[in-house]
Amino acid sequence: MARVTLPGHIPALRGILAVLAVLAVVFGSAAPARADDVRDSQWFLAPLKVAQAQRISKGAGVIVAVLDTGVDARHQDLGGAVLAGRQVVRNEPAGNLDTVGHGTGMAGIIAGRGHGAGRGVLGIAPQAKIMPITPADDTFFVGQGIRWAAGHGAKVIVLAFGIDDGEGLRAAVSEAAAADVVLVGTSGNSGDKGNEVEFPGAYPQVLTVGAVDRRNKVAAFSNHGPHVDLVAPGVDIPAPAPGDKYVTGTGTSGAAGIVAGAAALIRAKYPDLPAAEVVRRLTGTATDRGDKGRDDYYGAGQLNLLAALTAPGTDPPVPGAEPIRSGRQNATPDIEPTRGGKQNAAAGAEPPDEDGGIPPIVLVAAGSMVLLGAGVAAAVLLARSRRAGG
């Protein structure tokens, strides 16, 4: 399985040559992997108790929109999982093109179906449908993509990138939240290099996810601050790549994909539960780590998938509930945070785990070199963005 040592977000690069250099590294560094090895390397499946959770729900009937670089729907682990989606610039179906590979990786983490007997990537919600929306590097078109997804049946929208704030983007996010859509974003991957606030993850309507490693420690790259709502595994996450290949990715994107899959499981199990209550269920059942209660590194805590699906307090939903930040998200009285893990005895929020600071990498693919030509066009769009990532 290829390990691509690139930033964990889609890079916000200055100039076409820089983008092409990154694409050359991506497409030149991967090697085929045995699909059964890929399943074995999904280390997070056991601690999240995914097998038990999937006996309760597999996400059937839920559409998850992935605003990203596109999805290679022909991948062997995504058979039957991908809808036509939309390329909003051309106002046409998204097709199967993913010149970077990030979107294909996200699709697999969320709804991968594997293939054969225990082979390939198994997503958190393997019966959910993926709706690919592109592009994800322009504020206006991202806003249009959010509106299109919300208007065409998406119940969860994943925004695993960073981009400029903008009035139109803020409006689109607010409209989607009002339309009963769960929006999942990333906290960002510059925690050890400036900790910049990134949008759309910083919007209050977005469930913003940071990353932890195998030891349940916040990764050094994972951004921290009051916008962090929840954390999930985000280090060494296997993902499908264009051309029936695989990569291992590290970054808050993988964590957001896992949480988006969890949201799909809940929406399938409790179809009448409002989006705000889905968010409360995810944060209210989280395993509390770091300082007691909410903190700026873990947010409300670490995703507890099985508890989110089985905790009491589902019926009746809170009428007219609005999406809220994790500092207030335990308002549903029947759902309390679960204490767990070693607590930080020092005052203040627990700092990132420095020795777990694996350089954040993009969940990108090693596609065929044929795609590199198409990557030139993608590079032009990427160069217009201040930063975009996942």
Question: How many distinct structural domains can be found in the chain?
Answer: 1
111 in a structural domain:
yes
186 in a structural domain:
yes
388 in a structural domain:
no
The region, left, alpha or beta by phi > 0 then psi within -120 to 50, assigned to residue 69 is alpha
33 in a structural domain:
yes
Assign residue 274 the CATH number of its domain: 3.40.50.200
Residues 353, 61: Cα–Cα separation, whole Å? 38
Amino acid identity at 277: E
84 in a structural domain:
yes
Task: Answer yes or no: are the C-beta atoms of 330 and 283 closer than 8 Å.
Answer: yes
Confidence tier at 246 by pLDDT (50, 70, 90)? very high
390 in a structural domain:
no
One of 9, 57, 68, 213 is an active-site residue; which one? Answer: 68
pTM beyond cutoff 0.85: no
Residues 146, 133: Cα–Cα separation, whole Å? 8
Contacts 24+ apart (CB under 8 A), 148-153: 148/86, 148/88, 149/65, 149/67, 149/86, 149/176, 149/181, 150/65, 150/175, 150/176, 150/179, 150/181, 151/179, 152/63, 152/86, 153/63
350 in a structural domain:
yes
130, β-bridge pairs: 64, 82
One of 57, 187, 222, 253 is an active-site residue; which one? Answer: 253
One of 102, 244, 295, 296 is an active-site residue; which one? Answer: 102
Residues 213, 118: Cα–Cα separation, whole Å? 24
- pLDDT surpassing 70 at residue 373: no
- Both tokens of 269, joined, read 């199990």
Backbone angles phi, psi at 367, to 5 degrees: -80, 180
From residue 221, give the alpha-carbon distance in Å to each of 8, 26, 32, 253, 386.
9, 21, 28, 12, 19
Residues 6+ apart with CB under 8 A from 369: 27, 28
For residue 261, what pLDDT is reported? 98
- The larger pLDDT score, comparing residue 247 to residue 317, is at 247
Confidence tier at 37 by pLDDT (50, 70, 90)? confident
For residue 272, what pLDDT is reported? 96
- pLDDT surpassing 60 at residue 302: yes
Residues 6+ apart with CB under 8 A from 288: 298, 300, 301, 337, 338, 339, 340, 341
Residues 293, 93: Cα–Cα separation, whole Å? 44
**Count of CA atoms in the C-beta half-sphere (13 A) of 9:** 31
pLDDT digits (tens, 9 = 90+) for 331-365: 333 444 444 333 333 333 344 443 333 333 333 33
- The larger pLDDT score, comparing residue 321 to residue 25, is at 321
Q: Where are the beta strands (DSSP E) in the chain?
A: 2-3, 63-67, 86-87, 113-115, 119-122, 129-134, 154-159, 182-186, 206-212, 230-233, 237-241, 245-249, 287-288, 338-339
Residues 328, 333: Cα–Cα separation, whole Å? 12
pLDDT digits (tens, 9 = 90+) for 55-79: 999 999 999 999 999 999 999 999 9
Cis link prior to 271 (omega < 30° from 0)?
no
pLDDT digits (tens, 9 = 90+) for 153-209: 999 999 999 999 999 999 999 999 999 999 999 999 999 999 999 999 999 999 999
Residues spanned by the domain of 105: 2-383
Section 121-146 average pLDDT? 98
Amino acid identity at 306: L
> Does 68 qualify as catalytic in the annotation?
yes
Residues 116, 121: Cα–Cα separation, whole Å? 11
> Does 41 qualify as catalytic in the annotation?
no
Residues 221, 357: Cα–Cα separation, whole Å? 6
User: Which is it for strands 230-233 and 237-241: parallel, antiparallel or unpaired?
Assistant: unpaired
**Count of CA atoms in the C-beta half-sphere (13 A) of 47:** 16
389 in a structural domain:
no
